[in-house]
Amino acid sequence: MDIEKDLKRAETAAIGAARSVGTLMRRHLAESKRAHTVTQHDIKLDLDIRSQKLIERTLRSAFPNVSLLGEEGVAGKQDSDFRWVVDPIDGTVNFAYGIPHACVSIALQAKTSQKAASSYEDGYQTLVGVVFDPFCDEMWTARHSQPARLNGRPIRVSAHNKLSESIISIGFAKTRKTLEHTLPYFNQLVRQVRKVRIMGSAALALTYVATGRFDAYIERGIRLWDIAAGGLIVECSGGEFWRKAVGTDHKYRMIASNGLLRRTLRVPD
């Protein structure tokens, strides 16, 4: 098997799937949207489910033996050696309100050896990452051990090494517990940095770190499908993507940064 050729083919398939959903997102941004589930801090749309089905058909047509783990459900054998990790619309609340800051996130992961498993999400390593912002027409791509790219051009994290000069993105996830743990740290951090940004899309926050627009992104209680693709893109752009599993339901504490600020940042306990 030619692994590089297969990864390139996987990247191409993911790009095609992401663009297809991006077309739907652009078409429906200004329209009324039907909610599937609504909670205090989150909204699930019927279009989320429709978009994941479209991605699933595209990817499993190209790679029928690769399973899929997504925000809107799973497909295939979940003990497969390879799996797609998909968030069909990351930033759904933004999108539901007509705010054009949302994206498609698709990653390909492979099982690792038992020895290496502790370094990766439940024994899987991310090999391909694709994040597409259809409203800015920005496509971020990365393959393991290759430079990350934005619309085909190599990207690099920022060089800021002082908090006082940095823009830090922070997320509050979806639960009251996470909010209560994060707010005190937010109040501390906002006094130390140049600016704090809360944008509403984890995958785009990660790609903004990778592109040098943000210097770091912090969140407690984030899900794997939100960060798998963007985390690889950060690493392949010279940054650092630290994460730690919380429980057994694909939830993580994480810090993505340019690698120069890690000692000055923390994830709320």
SS3 letters across the chain: CCHHHHHHHHHHHHHHHHHHHHHHHHHHCCCCCCEEEEECCEEEEHHHHHHHHHHHHHHHHHCCCCEEEECCEEECCCCCCEEEEEEEEECHHHHHCCCCCCEEEEEEEEECCHHHHCCCECCEEEEEEEEEECCCCEEEEEECCCCCEECCEECCCCCCCCHHHCEEEECCCCCHHHHHHHHHHHHHHCCCCCEEECCCCHHHHHHHHHHCCCCEEEEEEEEHHHHHHHHHHHHHCCCEEEEEECCCCCEEEEEEECCCCHHHCCCCC
Q: How many CB atoms lie within 10 A of CB 57?
A: 13
CATH number at residue 103: 3.30.540.10
Mean pLDDT of 138-165: 97
Answer whether residue 117 shows pLDDT above 50.
no
Instruction: Let me know whether 33 and 138 are in one domain.
Output: yes
Instruction: Let me know whether 130 and 12 are in one domain.
Output: yes
- Read off the pTM: 0.92
Indicate the residue among 154, 173, 208 that finishes a domain.
154
More confident residue, 16 or 46: 16
Model pLDDT, residue 178: 79
Indicate the residue among 96, 130, 154 that finishes a domain.
154
d(CA 257, CA 51): 30
The count of structural domains within the chain is 2
Instruction: Let me know whether 75 and 122 are in one domain.
Output: yes
CA dist list (Å): 106 to 60, 136, 184, 190: 13, 18, 32, 31
Instruction: Let me know whether 132 and 7 are in one domain.
Output: yes
CATH number at residue 254: 3.40.190.80
Check if the beta carbon of residue 152 is closer than 8 Å to that of residue 130.
Answer: no
The answer to the question of residue 227 being in a domain is: yes
Instruction: Let me know whether 201 and 121 are in one domain.
Output: no
The answer to the question of residue 132 being in a domain is: yes
Instruction: Let me know whether 146 and 176 are in one domain.
Output: no
Model pLDDT, residue 269: 67
Model pLDDT, residue 266: 83
pLDDT digits (tens, 9 = 90+) for 224-269: 999 999 999 999 999 999 998 887 788 899 999 999 998 899 877 6
The answer to the question of residue 113 being in a domain is: yes
The answer to the question of residue 128 being in a domain is: yes
Instruction: Let me know whether 127 and 172 are in one domain.
Output: no
More confident residue, 114 or 128: 128
Least reliable range by pLDDT among 79-83, 163-167, 178-182: 178-182
Query: Containing domain of residue 174, as a range?
Result: 163-264
d(CA 172, CA 117): 28
The answer to the question of residue 204 being in a domain is: yes
- Tokens 């801090």 locate to 41
Instruction: Let me know whether 124 and 231 are in one domain.
Output: no
The answer to the question of residue 269 being in a domain is: no
Check if the beta carbon of residue 214 is closer than 8 Å to that of residue 208.
Answer: yes
Instruction: Let me know whether 119 and 246 are in one domain.
Output: no
d(CA 227, CA 246): 14
Instruction: Let me know whether 11 and 47 are in one domain.
Output: yes
d(CA 116, CA 59): 27
Indicate the residue among 132, 154, 176 that finishes a domain.
154
Instruction: Let me know whether 10 and 125 are in one domain.
Output: yes
Instruction: Let me know whether 39 and 72 are in one domain.
Output: yes
**What mean pLDDT, rounded, does the chain reach?**
90
Mean pLDDT of 33-40: 68
